[in-house]
Amino acid sequence: MGTGGHGHTYPGAVMPFGMVQLSPDTRLEGWDGCSGYHYTDSVVYGFSHTHLSGTGIADYCDILFMPTTGTPQFKNTAYSSPFKKKNETASPGYYKTRLDKYNIGVELTATTRAGMHRYSYPSSPEANIIIDLQHRDQS
């Protein structure tokens, strides 16, 4: 609820009063994407560890991880991947999707002080995890 329109919320994994809020980042700028996610988007730039819900102001979306295959790319528009809503699942403390470009399954969960990612890669000679510390805010 609230991930479309002007809701400014994200569907990711978080615990009440938790230190991390793992969620996909689907929008790089603009008021409707200030939580890092908007329901109408169809591209994932990665999965960052901090998000704000319902604030109406962009902030956080820090420490972005993005699983990829093939030769690593270091520009977010190059390593991003399309995804389909039918492959997206969100429930309290859990988020799941599939990155279509790489055929990688992604699962996110959180505890009070830590977040965990699980990536299910296809058979590939090159499997990567991009860690982008300058994803949205200046580091």
Read off the CATH number of the domain in which 87 is found: 2.70.98.10
pLDDT value at 46 more than 90: yes
Smallest Cα–Cα separation from 61: which of 114, 12, 117?
Answer: 12
Within-domain flag for 88 = yes
Number of domains in the chain: 1
The pLDDT score that the predictor gives to residue 69 is: 97
pLDDT value at 47 more than 70: yes
What domain range is 46 assigned to?
13-132
Within-domain flag for 87 = yes
Using a cut of 0.75, tell me whether the model's pTM lies above it. yes
CA 85 to chain centre: 14
Percent of the residues in the chain that have a pLDDT greater than 70, as a whole number:
87
Choose between 100 and 20: higher pLDDT. Answer: 100
Within-domain flag for 115 = yes
Within-domain flag for 126 = yes
Q: Which residues contact 135 (CB under 8 A, 6 or more apart)?
A: 25, 45, 46, 48, 61, 62, 64, 76
Torsion of CA 20, 48, 4, 119, to 10 degrees: -100
Within-domain flag for 89 = yes
pLDDT value at 117 more than 80: yes
Choose between 113 and 58: higher pLDDT. Answer: 113
The pLDDT score that the predictor gives to residue 59 is: 62
